[in-house]
């Protein structure tokens, strides 16, 4: 499940994710981040957005540069 590529987060973002994941009852930050990414990707997939629109939205969210 978590054996794939690694993603780096800046410390402040990681700390925020850690705080929220604990409060929400996730077992780990990884589990929380995976859930959030899956949910956002599902939204994008259902929206019928084209690849360019998805790329721009992911950049705006800071997921890609």
Q: pLDDT (tens digit, 9 = 90+) per residue, 39-53?
A: 988 887 776 667 788
pLDDT at 1: 55
Domain that holds residue 38: 28-65
Token pair, residue 11, equals 């410390």
The pLDDT of residue 41 is 87
Give the pair of three-digit tokens for residue 23. 């409060």
Residue 32 lies in a domain: yes
Q: Is residue 54 part of a domain?
A: yes
37 is a domain residue = yes
Identify whether 22 is part of a domain: no
What is the rounded CA–CA span in Å between residue 35 and residue 29?
10
Q: In this predicted model, what pLDDT tens digit does every residue of 5-58 receive, in sequence order?
A: 888 999 999 999 999 999 999 999 999 999 999 998 888 777 666 778 878 888
In a domain, 64, yes or no: yes
**pTM for this structure?**
0.64
The total domain count for the chain is 1
**Residue 43 included in any domain:** yes
Whether 18 contacts 24, CB under 8 Å: no
């Amino acid at each position: 499940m978590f054996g794939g590529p690694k993603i780096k987060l800046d410390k402040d973002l990681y700390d925020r994710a850690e705080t929220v994941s604990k409060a929400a009852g996730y077992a780990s930050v990884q589990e929380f981040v995976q859930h959030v990414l899956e949910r956002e990707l599902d939204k994008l997939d259902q929206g019928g957005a084209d690849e360019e629109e998805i790329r721009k939205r992911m950049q705006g969210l800071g997921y890609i540069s």
